[in-house]
Every structure is written in C-alpha cells, then in structure tokens.
Amino acid sequence: MFASFGYTTASNTAAAPRCRVVFVLEYPITTPAEYRRVYQAVAWYISSDGSNTDPACKDPLRLYYGSKRADVWDNWSLLGQGTIDYITEEYAAAHPPVSAPTKMTVPVSPTASMQDAKLATFGRAVQNAPLDAGHHTLLRIATTAGGYVASGVLDRSAVIAELTAAAMTRPEPNPADIERAINNGLDYGAARPLQFEAARRVGDLLP
C-alpha cells in the first residue's frame, strides 16, 4: 500500500512474470549502508505475504531502471519515515544478532617448545623486516620480548642471543647498535609484563 508505482521489466513474460516496485521516500537516503538496511527490511516485509524479491537489488549501484512498453500500476504513495522505522524495527526484532561465544584468555605456564617457538617468532620478525625498518623492528620486538622477560616466562639471555643472531643477518649489521637496541627494548618492555595465554570459552571456566 506504500508503493509509488510498479512496472513490468524487459524480461517479463507470461510464463515468468517479473516486475519492479518503486518506493518514493519522504526523506533522501545518502549512504549505501542506510539503503541496504532499508531495502533488506522492506524486502523482508514484502515477502511476508509469500511474494518473492530479488536479492540482487540490494546493491545501491542498481538504483535506476527502465523498461520500454511496460505495464505500469500507479499508486503514488509515499513511504514515510514512521513506516520505514516500523518496518526496520520489525525486521531487527525478527533477526536478532547472533552472539559469538564469549572468549577470554588465561595465563598458562609455557613449555620449552612454546618458549622456543616464541623466540623463533621474534627472530623471524627481525630477520624479515623491510630494509628500511630494521632498527625500528628490532627495538619493537625487543620491547615485546621484554614484557615476557619481566614475567619470568622467557630468559633475558636467550632473548638477547636470538635477536642478536637474527639482527646480524641483516645487511651491514652494526653490533654496537644492535646490542643497544635490544637492551633498550628489553628495559622498556619490563614496564608491561606479558604472559603466555590460551583462549578459553567462558563456559569452560565454570565449575
């Protein structure tokens, strides 16, 4: 009852009838997200009586159509703000968002293999850093590693050995700069202790 007019499409046949329904609104839609939201709700509302709608028409780029020698049914009604709000609210009520399982992390005591894997990850990050970001990457990774050292889950000397070996594979390494960047990063990271963590669903933590 709120449509402005409808017309048959160029592909319409007696065996496979097709038409388009055009709604003229009382206010302009200025964003693709708003168009999709309103279209989705209106299409759902139309389909509630068994009618079929084309899901492709939700694309905001497909706003303009035409059809020569079409059959036209006019109604010249306006779809008002209040009606749009009602339809979109009904749609939202019928399609509540699906809640993903709530996750949280819990500290775990790392095994030797977990410690070795973490050190290797740090080393690869330093070794594979872009050519113009070697020093920055080394300092950043050393700062992160410093957090694990501060928590006692990684050994400082093991971190220094891993990062030094990785940094020395870089073009034109400077041992003094490498040592300074690593130690500065470890000292900075000590202010933010880090733990090895594992993801757990909340339900798994309940007694």
pTM, entire model: 0.49
Residues 41-52 pLDDT 10s:
988 888 887 887
pLDDT value at residue 27 = 87
The pLDDT score that the predictor gives to residue 141 is: 95
Q: What is the pLDDT of residues 12-60, one digit of tens each?
A: 898 988 888 888 998 888 888 888 888 889 888 888 878 877 766 766 6
Q: What is the DSSP letter of 172?
A: S
What is the reported pLDDT for 56? 65
User: Both tokens of residue 4?
Assistant: 């402005």
In sequence order, what are the beta bridge partners of 7?
20, 72
pLDDT for 40: 87
Q: What's residue 199's pLDDT?
A: 58
pLDDT given at position 205 = 44
Asked if residue 199 lies in contact with residue 105, where contact means CB atoms within 8 angstroms, the answer is yes
Grouping H, G, I as helix, E, B as strand and the rest as coil, residue 56 is: helix
Residue 43 is predicted with a pLDDT of 87
Do strands 24-25 and 78-79 pair parallel, antiparallel, or not at all (unpaired)? parallel
Tell which residue, 122, 88, 113, has the closest CA to residue 194.
122
The two structure tokens encoding residue 176: 């003094």
pLDDT of residue 206: 43
pLDDT at position 63 is 62
pLDDT at 200: 57
Domain extent listing, the chain: 5-94, 103-199
Instruction: With a cut of 70, list the residues of the chain below it in pLDDT.
Output: 55-56, 58-65, 100-105, 199-207
Helix segments in the chain, DSSP class H: 32-47, 81-94, 112-127, 134-151, 156-167, 175-189, 202-205
Written as six digits, the tokens of 29 are 């839609």
